[in-house]
Amino acid sequence: MKRLAIFASGTGSNFQVIAEAIRSGSIRAELVLLVCDKPDAAVIEKAEWLHIPAFVAEPKRFETKQVYEKAVLAALEEAQVDFVVLAGYMRLIGPTLLQAYGGRIINIHPSLLPSFPGLHAIEQAFAAGVKVTGITIHFVDDGMDTGPIIAQEAVKLSRGETIESLTDKIHHLEHTLYPRVIAELLNEE
Ligand code: GRF
């Protein structure tokens, strides 16, 4: 069974649904580590409830990004992690982690890439007045939301749609698609 780490910086709703899918057996993997760069993120409490070990470190406390990533890498290696899932991890993966885990890191992004990469993708799409947006799951490379696309699903904007209602729709879709795609990637191996 593959040993999985999830990287997250925020609420951790995707972390939670993936952890539940692993617990129920629909994803055949072991969730061995949470990596979190924000000491006050709600995802840390979720990991505690679920008894999942967490590596929590603030990048600004390290001399450089490379030194920070070397510490993360050491934690991944110690936990014998095979595969990394980014779920709301709000920083770019640098060369240190990419060299070690290239092709084995995936991310979820709340737009139909290559449209609206980067921060605030839902707001960007809403402000652009698009009638269809969605979510993308992709392999991570050295760009910002640029790696090979694995899966996408579209969301139509209704008349009277608000940022809040659109955000809800997108999150709901993420919570079904991300565990399904992770299962497809890991269960077949
Ligand atoms: C998700 O919308 C994801 O697409 C984006 O960050 C958000 C994370 O939400 N990359 P959560 O922390 O999993 O609730």
Report pLDDT digits (tens) over 37-93.
Answer: 999 999 999 999 999 999 999 999 999 999 999 999 999 999 999 999 999 999 999
H helices of the chain, in order, are 13-24, 42-49, 65-78, 95-101, 121-128, 163-187
Cis peptide before 39 (omega within 30 of 0): no
Report the C-alpha gap between 37 and 56 in whole angstroms: 6
User: 176, 115, 185, 122: which is closest to 145 by C-alpha?
Assistant: 115
pLDDT recorded at residue 147: 97
* Whole-number Cα distances in Å, 54 to 34, 43, 101, 167, 175: 5, 10, 19, 27, 21
Confidence grade of residue 178 (pLDDT, cut at 50, 70, 90): very high
Atom of ligand 1 nearest to the CA of 135: 4
pLDDT recorded at residue 188: 74
Report the C-alpha gap between 39 and 44 in whole angstroms: 8
Mutate to test the pocket of ligand 1, among 7, 16, 37, 108 (most ligand atoms within 8 A of CB): 108
pLDDT recorded at residue 189: 60
Confidence grade of residue 6 (pLDDT, cut at 50, 70, 90): very high
Evaluated on CA atoms 165, 170, 175, 177, the torsion sign reads: positive
**What is the residue with the minimal CA distance to atom 1 of ligand 1?**
88
Residue 96 Cβ contacting ligand 1 at under 6 Å: no
pLDDT recorded at residue 17: 98
* Whole-number Cα distances in Å, 83 to 19, 94, 177: 14, 16, 18
Mutate to test the pocket of ligand 1, among 120, 167, 168, 171 (most ligand atoms within 8 A of CB): 171
pLDDT exceeding 70 applies to what percent of the chain?
99
109 among known catalytic residues: yes
C-alpha R_g of the chain:
16
Residue range 117-125: mean pLDDT, rounded: 98
Report pLDDT digits (tens) over 153-169.
Answer: 999 999 999 999 999 99
